[in-house]
Amino acid sequence: MWQDRRTAEDCDAWKKDGHEKMLHEKTGLVVDPYFSASKLRWPLDNVTQLRVRADRGEVAAGTIDSFLLWKLTAGVSHKTDVSNASRTQLMNIETGLWDDDLLKFFSVPSGILPEICDSSGVFGETKGLSILPDGIPITGIAGDQQAALFGQTCFQEGDAKCTFGTGSFLLINSGQRMLRSKSGLLTTAAWRLKGDEKITYALEGGAFICGAAVQFLRDQLGFIEESRDVEKLATQVKDTEGVEFVPALTGLGAPYWDPFARGTISGLTRGTTRAHLARATLEAMALQNTEILLAMKEDLGQSLRSVRVDGGAAANGLLMQLQADYLGVDVVRPKMIETTSAGAAYLAGLGAGLFGSLEEIKRIWKTDRTNRSKMSDEDRAERLKRWQLAVRRARLTS
């Protein structure tokens, strides 16, 4: 999965050898084991006879969407969409095609990869399944975060969303402008709709550990019985009293991209309680996103109007208020917070002709709650300063 870090040393070597610029220019991505290319190379190099079998055409590879499509169609369709392909680090971000130079660099044979298609359209039909009849068209595919952006109806340039899942991911629609980040963000294909010739792009920043930090409190430390209990525990104190939790449990994502950073808990005193650590966890989840937003503002040259939120942790009222306070913009939660699923459904509806336009989809989206910042600019800057000091300490452990 994406949190697998076994190729971290390979990625570090490629950066030291000066390959980072070429890879960034071609893919819009940074060199990190987060992406698929190094993960594809690893089994080809380490599993006996796998590369030989790949050269013989006996192996297929792809992201989870292409695996599911293969299974749903009884092996007839080996395809993916432009958004998933853009995250493999093997697709040229400008052309929307597999790139020969990248395939050679990562030693991945092109024959094992799926065909890159639009995000909406007919990918194949169900076949040979015990749970579904044959012949049902499969008409939408998108990457997890791109689907959430679409499900939040962020169709206009400048629209942004943040998904709170295992990690947290903030994306902003940049339209058909392929912005090259200078602040540690990713340039990604958001989608390409049926009938469109050009890709819609987005800037993305992700923190690897978000909801997983709450799982850490629950499973490793035994602080809570269920994840939702963290809000009740955190509200028992007014602040963290100086406690900082940097949840770099699998390294740091944007804007640092440090796979060797390690999680730290600092600022402990004899008066520190479980409640302080619970609140520090929620504050860390929000502060990580704040750093990503600041990087986005730097790349865009403009401030965001608001951020739409989704994912399981978006139901946490304290976290949403902290996020609004630290971002300094409105945080808008829709009635449907599982917007990744909604985005996939909207794309499928477009592909099947159930929706005639994006405007039809926008009429479905409804606001549930808006959190507005209650923090002054001065207090916000001071809080971020303390957080960044804690991050530096986490990076010193790498």
What pLDDT was estimated at residue 282? 98
Q: Which of 211, 213, 203, 217 is nearest to 246 (CA)?
A: 213
Position 173 pLDDT exceeds 60: yes
What pLDDT was estimated at residue 396? 86
SS3 content of the chain, % helix, strand, coil (to 5): 40, 20, 40
What pLDDT was estimated at residue 286? 97
3-state SS, residue 175: strand
Strand partners, 187: 203
- Cis-peptide, bond into residue 255, ω within 30° of zero: yes
Of 119-123, 193-197, 240-244, 288-292, the poorest mean pLDDT is in 193-197
Q: Which of 240, 382, 380 is nearest to 324 (CA)?
A: 380
Position 319 pLDDT exceeds 80: yes
Average pLDDT, the chain: 95
Give the confidence band of 171 by pLDDT, cuts at 50, 70, 90. Answer: very high
Q: Which helix (H) or strand (E) holds 22?
A: helix 20-27
The domain segmentation of the chain, as residue ranges, is 8-141, 143-398
**Greatest CA span in the chain, whole angstroms?**
65
- Encode pLDDT of 7-23 as tens digits: 999 999 999 999 999 99
3-state SS, residue 301: coil
Mean pLDDT of 132-140: 97
What pLDDT was estimated at residue 397? 65
Of 84-98, 183-197, 329-343, the poorest mean pLDDT is in 183-197
Looking at domain 143-398, what is its CATH homologous superfamily? ATPase, nucleotide binding domain (3.30.420.40)
The answer to whether the CB of 352 falls within 8 A of the CB of 136 is no
The DSSP-derived string for 178-241 is ----SSS-EEEEEE--TT-SS-EEEEEEEES-SHHHHHHHHHTS---SSTTHHHHHHTTSSS-T
The reported pTM is: 0.90
Q: Please measure the distance between the N-terminal and C-terminal CA atoms of the chain and give it in whole angstroms.
A: 22
Please report how the helices 274-300 and 317-327 are oriented relative to each other, as an axis angle in degrees rounded to 10.
Answer: 40
Position 28 pLDDT exceeds 80: yes
- Encode pLDDT of 227-238 as tens digits: 999 999 999 999
Position 130 pLDDT exceeds 90: yes
Compute φ and ψ for 207, nearest 5 degrees. -105, 125
Looking at domain 8-141, what is its CATH homologous superfamily? ATPase, nucleotide binding domain (3.30.420.40)
The residue count for the chain: 398
- Encode pLDDT of 72-106 as tens digits: 999 999 999 999 999 999 999 999 999 999 999 99
Number of Cβ within 10 Å of residue 77's Cβ equals 21
| Better-scored residue on pLDDT, 79 or 183 | 79
The answer to whether the CB of 278 falls within 8 A of the CB of 223 is yes
In whole angstroms, how far apart are CA 214 and each of 136, 164, 230, 299?
A: 39, 12, 7, 31
Q: Which of 140, 55, 64 is nearest to 348 (CA)?
A: 140
By CB atoms closer than 10 A (0-12, 13-18, 19+), residue 227 is middle
Give the span between the Cα atoms of 325 and 315, in whole angstroms: 17
In whole angstroms, how far apart are CA 332 and each of 152, 161, 183, 369?
A: 10, 9, 25, 6
Which residue in the block uniquely carries the two structure tokens 């606001």? 367
8-141 and 143-398: same fold? yes
Position 2 pLDDT exceeds 80: no
Dihedral of the CA atoms 149, 151, 156, 162 (nearest 10)?
A: -40
